[in-house]
């Protein structure tokens, strides 16, 4: 009986060792009509403390920068680059041995798109990002989105 109890207890601890940390970032995706043929796409990330997410504008050789990717849609044309806004922090990171740019709290990514007049369509894609705290980094994650343009 004692051996069975120890076996079950050991299996429980083994399972805990393989448990993954849930992605701490909460995402929202929306489109606001600006003119008859243009929309502002807003992608918002809420990154709780102690986590932080890296800027799109990271130099190579460091953490994975955030990247917003829009799938090709012949009815939709991107205007300019995706902008990021939030409280940008810049530190000399000991883990990566370089200066890094990151956000904590709320980060908003905006993209203006034009559509063919009178057409209802959608824009889909994903955000590729990595979050870290002071002790660990989670593997890069892709968050898919599909936003209706009405």
**What pTM was estimated for this model as a whole?**
0.82
Provide the pLDDT for residue 60.
Answer: 86
21 — pLDDT class (breaks 50, 70, 90): low
Query: Looking at the predicted structure, is the pLDDT value of residue 1 above 50?
Result: no
**How far is residue 40's CA from residue 77's CA, in Å, rounded to a whole number?**
12
Domains and CATH numbers, the chain: 22-149 (2.60.40.1250)
**How far is residue 56's CA from residue 64's CA, in Å, rounded to a whole number?**
9
CA dihedral sign of residues 65, 68, 71, 75: negative
**How far is residue 13's CA from residue 59's CA, in Å, rounded to a whole number?**
40
User: By the 8 A CB rule, do 108 and 127 touch?
Assistant: no
126 CB neighbour count, 10 Å cutoff? 16
Provide the pLDDT for residue 150.
Answer: 86
The single residue listed with the structure tokens 């806004």 is: 85
Q: For residue 38, what are its two tokens?
A: 């243009």
Query: Looking at the predicted structure, is the pLDDT value of residue 139 above 90?
Result: yes
Provide the pLDDT for residue 20.
Answer: 58
Q: Please write the tens of the pLDDT for every residue from 58-84.
A: 988 889 999 999 999 999 999 999 999
């Amino acid at each position: 009986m004692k051996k069975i109890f120890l076996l079950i207890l050991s299996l429980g601890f083994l399972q805990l060792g393989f448990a993954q940390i849930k992605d701490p970032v909460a995402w929202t995706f929306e489109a606001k009509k600006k003119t008859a043929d243009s929309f502002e796409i807003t992608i918002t990330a809420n990154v709780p403390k102690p986590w932080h997410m890296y800027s799109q504008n990271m130099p190579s050789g460091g953490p994975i920068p955030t990247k917003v990717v829009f799938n090709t849609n012949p009815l939709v044309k991107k205007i300019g680059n995706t902008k990021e806004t939030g409280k940008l922090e810049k530190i000399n990171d000991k883990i990566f041995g370089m200066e890094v740019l990151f956000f904590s709290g709320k980060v908003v990514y905006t993209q203006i798109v034009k559509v063919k007049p009178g057409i209802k369509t959608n824009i889909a894609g994903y955000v590729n990002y990595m979050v870290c705290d002071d002790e660990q980094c989670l593997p890069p994650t892709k968050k898919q989105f599909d936003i209706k343009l009405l």
